[in-house]
Chain A
């Protein structure tokens, strides 16, 4: 960074340290910059930024680091390069259940996968270094903006009309010529011509210097965009506040009511419906495949009003909302949203109403109500009594040969009763009962029950005595209280982007000394339009120039 020895310009204006172009007349302040005739760097109008101090302190150094656009670009580049790495293999967060990352990556993708896991790339976007990069980008956004916006605002607010020749002739668009008419009159004509193009005209009192300016507001676009991005990032940080974010999955079979974890709310799935496309609606290569057309959960949300969290009593529920959940249309209440996530069409057994037959007499007792969950412990059926000794939801024989259950879902339920009654041992005899026919065969119920199977039988007569859910719906529970703030950030960001991209700040300075006109023009984007505006004004005042000939070279866009 060039540090000038003297910040006082020859026009008498005192500039702050770091100023490149005099804030008053625009003359370059550095010796070597004065000698060159290259087009000027017009960034932030050459004003000193907050970070340009002669004796930076420790805090100033941090400030200076983050105030650099170069550092900001490096941060952006590093962020997108590392983000690429995270897409090589699926992220851990894309798996929902039954997933052990320490073995999954090695088993599925081999050594490379293991390396990916060990390096932490399997959770790239949650890693401290990736979040650190985002925080640094956020910091850079704040500091870069603050560092520039205030000095720029000051500079644009107090612009001098008559600029130094060096300033004018070293713009990227320049015109120099001689007049053969009255200077003040020509300047006024030129100003009138530019007014038609939407410029605001400032004329010096003498009438021989002019500043035409248009769309200054577009200069604030990038800063408004940055404010939007900062709000957006802050909203994301705010999601760490307890209770602001939840992401859970609940599985509800038809007819069941389930509590939403950590809340006072319950959801009931009254019925799940699925509709498939008929074959004649599908193109040839998709025919015969079950392509879902619509799936819908008839859901009811309840609020617990008393006896909540009391394990001894059933909670008292009050209906608060009823909604048919389909994709793109969640049930929404009090910031909680329930989304259709998945479904399962395997029927699930809820309860059976079996009977007990005394095979020696042919007498039938019952039926009795036997739910899969929370069954009664004692049943009396005529002369017989049943005591529930054990039950299994998904019956299996463990490696030690003892019965065990694989899960808590009634996929293969089994009940072990102690049966007492006529002709049986007074202490009772054990009887195992599989409500599902397939399990009864698979686990050989009659063989297990031995002699007892010849004397009594527990069985279900007819489908009317079976209560099952046809389908199970999987809902995704979401709470995200930061979302409204995200949208506010996004709106600011878009507003700033549009302001900065679709309008350009254009300025034309000109001065006439005697008969000599010197004109310089500057814009932050779209030189093509800038030159044609200058040429338009010149043409209206009788000077024909090819817009392209105004180009003074220089590549600083």
Chain B
């Protein structure tokens, strides 16, 4: 068995261990109220089991990382699959560090599903080892990407703690305008997470069923000399086309639910690389996510926040607030070093300019400015607790946009790691 094959197995093991660890954390929580047991002893016992399992998962994940590195001869952080798995691993490392400081296993209830979602998301992307293009072949790439991801992982832990704080303190019996607004946005946050889950499920369901559709897209480019050139390219869909690419012809479309042609065409301004397919994927994610969310609502007959809120009882919100703040404060210097300073050093070496206002660079700066605003807000009265938890949630949305959204929507120098 080659190193790369072994690493794929280790990755699968890590994934399942994370899933089990998550279940054990849920048992540690939900099982507190079960009869014939001491709630504190129960939580300690299952919290420890869960932590051991998740740490074994992390060990397996590390084994994946290093064997893939040895097997491929290059650090596995160079395409979307490798980067996302590395991010998930970093989140587990950050979680373990925060756990070592605070000894609060409860954080795992939110840190683990986050890791699981990111690992599953990573698996959507092609997993082959791809040779590096020359621009990526530098020691600074390794340092820049890994450090930045570790910083972002601490922000992710801060997000998990912040979200827990919100679920813990937002009162679902509050009928005032402010109360309703808080409930709505918390519910919206949960819905957004489910949309991401919906994306993963949709991709894997149709991939499992072997779904395929193909279009030829015609593009007309007029160059600076006024010479008109037409290029046709094939666009490959793995989800049934709701939107077909702009100005395209069907090559083949497998029927889905009896529909064998696209319902709409992507608008003309969506002219980026595979813009039509990306739009189609987004629409499918929303459909799948909404479906799952709707089913959950039907099952529980109340908002999901109101379902989780009672489970959080007994957790000290002040602790959550502190953990969230601390995780972000730990992550901030790491992020500064990795995403800005190392990135600038690399850019200086590779392109001779430490800063070029490339969209990815700008978004890294936006993330940095956002978290520096957060750290200054913490100094002001009234910004702790609820408000800073919202900021921790919004901050992580910005992190995700920087990591994924920029690659999907805005192309730039970093576009080589896109889908």
Partner of A555, one of B271, B336, B363, B384: B384
Contact-residue bracket for chain A: 35 or more
Closest Cβ of chain A to B80, distance in Å, is: 14
Chain B residues near A556: list those with CB within 8 A: 381, 384
Query: Which residues of A270-296 are within 8 A (CB) of B?
Result: 277, 281-286, 291-295
Answer whether A80 and B370 are a contact pair too, CB < 8 Å, given A291-B133, A328-B350: yes
B-contacting residues, A296-349, CB 8 Å: 326-328, 330, 337, 339
Query: Is there an interface contact between A494 and B369, defined as CB atoms closer than 8 Å?
Result: no
Distance A108 CA – B268 CA, assembled complex (angstroms): 10
B372 an interface residue at 8 Å Cβ cutoff? Answer: yes
Does A135 interact with chain B (Cβ within 8 Å)? no
Given A76-B369, A77-B373: A87 in contact with B330 (beta carbons within 8 A): no
Which residues of the partner chain B approach A406 to less than 8 Å between Cβ atoms?
225
Q: Give chain B interface residues in 402-419, CB to chain A under 8 Å.
A: 406, 410, 412
Docked complex Cα distance between A43 and B383 (Å): 14
**Cα distance, A69 to B378, chains bound together (Å):** 11
Residue-wise, chain B 349-374 has the 8 Å CB interface mask toward A (1 for contact) of 11111101111001101100110110
Q: A365: CB under 8 A from chain B?
A: no
Q: Which residues of B contact A497 (CB under 8 A)?
A: 332-333, 336
Q: A86-B357, A125-B357, A295-B134 are in contact. Are A557 and B369 (CB under 8 A)?
A: no
Contact B353 A480, beta carbon cutoff 8 Å: yes
* Beta-carbon contact of A283 and B128 below 8 Å: yes
The answer, yes or no, to whether A73 is at the interface (CB within 8 Å) is: yes
A31 at the interface (CB under 8 A from B): no
B224 and A69 within 8 A (CB): no
Q: Is A486 in the interface zone, CB < 8 Å from B? A: yes
User: Quick check: is A17 within 8 A (CB to CB) of the other chain?
Assistant: no
Q: Which of B224, B336, B370 contacts A98 (CB 8 A)?
A: B224
Question: How far is it, in angstroms, between the C-alpha of A111 and the C-alpha of B369 when the chains are bound?
Answer: 31
CA distance A255 to B356 in the complex (A): 31
- Provide the bound-state CA to CA distance between A493 and B381, in Å: 26
1/0 per position for A526-557, CB-CB distance to B under 8 A?
A: 11100000000000000000001001000111
Query: In the complex the two chains form, is B381's CB within 8 Å of A91's CB?
Result: no
Of residues B102, B318, B406, which shows the largest number of chain A Cβ atoms within 10 Å of its Cβ?
B318
Chain B residue nearest in CB terms to A125? B357
A339 touches B131 (CB 8 A): no
Q: Is A58 an interface residue (CB 8 A)?
A: no
* Chain B residues in 8 Å Cβ range of A498: 333
Decide yes or no whether A70 CB sits under 8 A from chain B: yes
CB distance from B297 to the nearest CB of A (A): 33
Which residue of A90, A98, A328, A527 is within 8 Å of B135 (Cβ)?
A328
**Contacting residue for B329 out of A87, A337, A501, A527, CB 8 A:** A501
Given known A-B contacts A490-B341, A494-B337, A528 and B319 have beta carbons under 8 A apart: yes
Could you say which residues of chain B place their CB within 8 Å of the CB of A72?
376
Given contact pairs A283-B130, A284-B128, A83 touches B137 in the complex (Cβ within 8 A): no
User: Within 8 Å CB of B173, what residues of A?
Assistant: none
**Closest residue of chain A to B129, judged by CB?**
A283
User: In the bound complex, how far is the Cα of B356 from the Cα of A93, in angstroms?
Assistant: 9
Cross-chain contact A294 with B384 (CB below 8 angstroms): no
Closest B residue by C-beta to A493: B336
B131 touches A80 (CB 8 A): no
Asked if A83 meets B366 with Cβ closer than 8 Å, knowing A91-B357, A327-B350, A501-B329, the reply is yes
Rounded to whole angstroms, the CA-CA distance of A401 and B380 in the bound complex is 75
Q: In residues 57-115 of chain A, which contact B (Cβ within 8 Å)?
A: 69-70, 72-73, 76-77, 79-80, 83-84, 86-88, 90-91, 93-94, 97-99, 108-110, 112
Does B5 have its Cβ within 8 Å of any Cβ on chain A? no
Chain B residues with CB under 8 Å of A285's CB are 126, 128
B373 A502 Cβ-Cβ under 8 A: no
Nearest CB in chain A to that of B325: its residue:
A557
Do B373 and A476 have beta carbons less than 8 Å apart? no
- Interface status of B316 (Cβ within 8 A of chain A): yes
B344 and A490 within 8 A (CB): yes
- B322 contacts A by Cβ under 8 Å: yes
Does A551 lie within 8 Å of B363, measured CB to CB?
no
| Residue from A125, A478, A493, A548 in contact with B352 in the complex, judged by beta carbons closer than 8 Å | A478
A497 CA to B151 CA, complexed, in Å:
13
**Is B34's CB within 8 Å of the partner chain A?**
no
Query: By the criterion CB–CB under 8 Å, are A80 and B365 in contact?
Result: yes
Interfacial chain A residues near B329, Cβ < 8 Å: 501, 525
Whole-angstrom CA separation of A501 from B331 in the bound complex = 9
Instruction: Tell me whether A37 is interfacial, beta carbon within 8 Å.
Output: no
Contact partners of A339 in chain B: CB under 8 A = 350-352
Most B Cβ at <10 Å: residue of A90, A93, A557? A557
CB distance from B384 to the nearest CB of A (A): 4
Smallest Cβ distance from A305 to chain B, in angstroms? 26
Interface status of A483 (Cβ within 8 A of chain B): yes
B319 touches A494 (CB 8 A): no
User: Contacts of A87 on B, CB cut-off 8 Å?
Assistant: 359, 362-363, 406, 410
Say yes or no for A470: interface residue by CB 8 A criterion: no
Additional 7 contacts, C-beta under 8 A, given A125-B362, A294-B134, A525-B325:
A77-B373, A79-B369, A282-B131, A497-B333, A498-B333, A555-B385, A557-B322
Identify the 10 closest CB pairs spanning chains A and B, nearest first.
A478-B352, A283-B128, A98-B224, A555-B384, A497-B333, A80-B369, A327-B134, A87-B359, A80-B366, A76-B373
23 contacts between A and B (CB under 8 A): A43-B379, A69-B379, A93-B356, A94-B358, A98-B224, A277-B131, A283-B126, A283-B129, A283-B130, A293-B131, A295-B134, A339-B350, A339-B351, A406-B225, A476-B352, A480-B352, A490-B341, A501-B330, A501-B332, A525-B329, A528-B101, A528-B102, A557-B325
Residues of A within 8 A of B (CB): 41, 43, 69-70, 72-73, 76-77, 79-80, 83-84, 86-88, 90-91, 93-94, 97-99, 108-110, 112, 125, 247, 277, 281-286, 291-295, 326-328, 330, 337, 339, 406, 476, 478, 480, 483, 486-487, 490, 493-494, 497-498, 501-502, 525-528, 548, 551, 555-557
